[in-house]
Amino acid sequence: MLSTFFAVLRRDLLLAWRGRADVLVTLAFFVIVVCLFPFGVGAEPNQLRAIAPGVLWVAALLACLLSLHRLFAQDHADGTLEQLLLSSEPAALWVAAKVLAFWLSTGLPVVAVAPGLALLLDLEQGALPVLVLSLALGTPILGLLGAVGAALTLGLRGGGMLLALLVLPLFVPVLIFGAGAIEAEMSGTGAAAHLLLLGGGLAGALALAPWACAAALRIATD
């Protein structure tokens, strides 16, 4: 069973590596969205510092949302998805592998770039580890929830907008606890509670989302 998991993981990572441009576009999007905020709200350092957690989190969330459609679209188009569904391996397993590969190729770069961007917004240096940790715990939840939405909207006209409408309300708790962790750290109350809740959310999503996503994929390819 684990060999299936690693085979799918390796295949998807390899595909992501061959199409590096897509990953770089996601990163560039993340960077540009963050850089737009000073133009919109003014370059006052105190204000930027105050909104930095929210800005970084919203930008990471949007970057994740915009790359979600890639998760299954290509496999759906070339028939790989149907073959995977026909195979005797449990669908939740390779769905989890695909989501992990997706997170490694789009979530992880975002997490890695975020501290650099935080410096642009003059975020306190002490809050940087919490920023990285909250993104590292939160973006996989976005990927797991988003995978369900991506599977449901597979192959639909205007699927991108529909996907946003479906998953953005579900992303709200992640955004609240993710940005809240950094703010709590900055205000001195400590980020432990927020990070623990994010970890719990990740465990819950990891347990439930692959099943829902596999069911959605079966419906989509029926």
Partner 1 sequence: MNSPERSRSFFRFAAPHNFYPLAGRLAPWFGAAAVVLTLVGLWLAFFVAPTDATQGQVYRVIFIHVPAAWMSMFIYLVMALWSAVGLVMNTRLSFVVSQALAPTGAMFCFVALWTGALWGKPTWGAYWVWDARLTSQLLLLFLYFGFIALTRAIEDPRRADRAGAIIALVGAVNVPIIYFSVKWWNTLHQGASVSLTKAPSMAATMLAGMLVMAFAAWAYTLAVVLWRVRPMILERERHAEWVGGVLEREAQIKGGRA
Residues that bind partner 1 (CB under 8 A): 145, 148-149, 152-153, 156-159, 162, 165-166, 168-170, 172-173, 176-177, 180, 183-184, 201, 208, 212, 215-216, 219-220, 222
Q: Which is nearer to partner 1, 15 or 166 (CB)?
A: 166
d(CA 78, CA 80): 6
Q: Which is nearer to partner 1, 136 or 216 (CB)?
A: 216
d(CA 159, CA 29): 20
d(CA 194, CA 134): 8
d(CA 173, CA 181): 12
Q: Which is nearer to partner 1, 45 or 155 (CB)?
A: 155
Q: Which is nearer to partner 1, 23 or 144 (CB)?
A: 144
Residue 156: phi, psi to the nearest 5? -90, 150
Q: Which is nearer to partner 1, 4 or 221 (CB)?
A: 221
In the bound complex, what is the minimum distance in angstroms from residue 161's beta carbon to partner 1? 9
In the bound complex, what is the minimum distance in angstroms from residue 162's beta carbon to partner 1? 6
d(CA 77, CA 162): 19
In the bound complex, what is the minimum distance in angstroms from residue 200's beta carbon to partner 1? 10
In the bound complex, what is the minimum distance in angstroms from residue 222's beta carbon to partner 1? 6
CB 76 within 8 A of CB 154: yes
In the bound complex, what is the minimum distance in angstroms from residue 21's beta carbon to partner 1? 29
Q: Which is nearer to partner 1, 31 or 71 (CB)?
A: 71
In the bound complex, what is the minimum distance in angstroms from residue 77's beta carbon to partner 1? 17
Strands (E), the chain: none
Amino acid at position 172, single letter: V
* CA dist list (Å): 56 to 2, 115, 217: 35, 9, 31
